[in-house]
């Protein structure tokens, strides 16, 4: 077996160059992976599911202890952007209705390397959102509102982006859509982005009223969903 591996490795080195990879190592890794328990056999779908579960668990735990609201938006305005999010996530995680069957067609091949890129973007986005959520602390709220003793956070990701939680979620959603690979997922990402943009603009109206020149200065130094480069 060892001599066969050496012979195979020698042939490969002559074909693709010395030291690119060792086929025996690859073969050994593959044989070990087959013996792993099912829950340890990572796949793009499993990594995405784990990332969203981690995100949901942290969000649920972090919701406790938030400050009480002193000002909030009307319930009707809140339902408007929630509708964007619900429909967007539905399109990503479920098939489009028969009348919109063209949205179920693929826009990208099913190559594993593409799926893994999307799968890696998802935890990167959820972890970034969790970092932003931890930074804002008790000033966070699920709806547009001003908290009692509200503070203008300008540290961590907020030093460069005004709405980094939405940035992280959008990155995670884009990664998930890349794994799905169908047009419905693209439409879902667009709707979620529109919902977050609508909510973020309302938040900025509240923050501008509350903090005045301090928020205006923060706005000049930071970007909306992406860092300001100029």
- 92 with 162, same domain: the answer is yes
- 51 with 104, same domain: the answer is yes
Residue 7's domain comprises 2-34
Residue 179 is assigned to a structural domain of this protein: yes
- 10 with 93, same domain: the answer is no
Look at 42 and 68; give whichever has higher pLDDT: 42
- 142 with 180, same domain: the answer is yes
- 117 with 175, same domain: the answer is yes
CB 107 within 8 A of CB 183: yes
Percent residues over pLDDT 70 in the chain: 77
Quickly state the pLDDT bin for 200 (edges 50, 70, 90). Answer: very high
- pLDDT at res. 24: 54
- The rounded distance, in Å, linking the Cα atoms of 192 and 157 is 21
Look at 70 and 174; give whichever has higher pLDDT: 174
Look at 162 and 14; give whichever has higher pLDDT: 162
**Total structural domains in the chain?**
2
- pLDDT at res. 133: 94
**How far does Cα 119 stand from its chain's mean position?**
10
CB 180 within 8 A of CB 94: no
- pLDDT at res. 90: 95
- 16 with 115, same domain: the answer is no
- pLDDT at res. 67: 65
Residue 104 is assigned to a structural domain of this protein: yes
Percent residues over pLDDT 90 in the chain: 56
Summarised one tens digit per residue, pLDDT across range 136-194 is 988 777 777 766 677 888 999 999 999 999 999 999 999 999 999 999 999 999 999 99
Residue 227 is assigned to a structural domain of this protein: no
Residue 149 is assigned to a structural domain of this protein: yes
Quickly state the pLDDT bin for 74 (edges 50, 70, 90). Answer: confident
Look at 103 and 25; give whichever has higher pLDDT: 103
- pLDDT at res. 108: 94
- 18 with 126, same domain: the answer is no
> Structure pTM?
0.80
Q: In this structure, what DSSP letter does residue 223 have?
A: B
- 112 with 7, same domain: the answer is no
- 29 with 128, same domain: the answer is no
Summarised one tens digit per residue, pLDDT across range 208-227 is 988 899 999 999 999 999 99
Residue 228 is assigned to a structural domain of this protein: no
Residue 134 is assigned to a structural domain of this protein: yes
Q: The domain spanning residue 212 has which CATH number?
A: 1.20.120.1630
Per-residue pLDDT, averaged over 112-130, amounts to 96
- 100 with 26, same domain: the answer is no
- The rounded distance, in Å, linking the Cα atoms of 86 and 189 is 11
- 28 with 78, same domain: the answer is no
CB 104 within 8 A of CB 183: yes
Per-residue pLDDT, averaged over 113-132, amounts to 96
- 104 with 167, same domain: the answer is yes
Residue 8 is assigned to a structural domain of this protein: yes
Residue 229 is assigned to a structural domain of this protein: no
Per-residue pLDDT, averaged over 50-70, amounts to 85
Side-chain-side CA neighbours of residue 230 (13 Å): 0
- pLDDT at res. 70: 66
């Amino acid at each position: 077996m060892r001599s066969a591996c050496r012979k195979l490795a020698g042939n490969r080195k002559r074909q693709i160059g010395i030291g690119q990879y060792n086929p025996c190592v690859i073969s050994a890794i593959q044989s070990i992976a087959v013996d792993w328990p099912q829950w340890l056999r990572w796949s793009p779908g499993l990594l995405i599911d784990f990332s969203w579960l981690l995100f949901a668990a942290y969000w649920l735990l972090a919701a406790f202890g938030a400050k009480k609201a002193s000002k909030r938006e009307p319930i009707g305005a809140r339902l408007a952007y929630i509708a964007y999010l619900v429909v967007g996530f539905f399109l990503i995680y479920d098939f489009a209705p028969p009348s919109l069957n063209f949205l179920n067609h693929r826009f990208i091949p099913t190559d594993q390397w593409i799926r893994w890129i999307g799968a890696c973007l998802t935890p990167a986005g959820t972890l970034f959102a969790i970092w932003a959520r931890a930074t804002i602390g008790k000033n966070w709220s699920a709806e547009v509102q001003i908290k009692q003793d509200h503070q203008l956070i300008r540290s961590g990701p907020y030093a460069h982006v005004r709405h980094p939680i939405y940035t992280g979620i959008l990155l995670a959603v884009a990664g998930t859509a890349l794994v799905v690979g169908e047009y419905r997922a693209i439409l879902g990402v667009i709707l979620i982005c529109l919902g977050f943009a609508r909510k973020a603009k309302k938040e900025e109206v509240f923050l501008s009223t509350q903090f005045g020149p301090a928020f205006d200065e923060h706005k000049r130094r930071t970007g909306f969903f992406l860092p300001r480069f100029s």
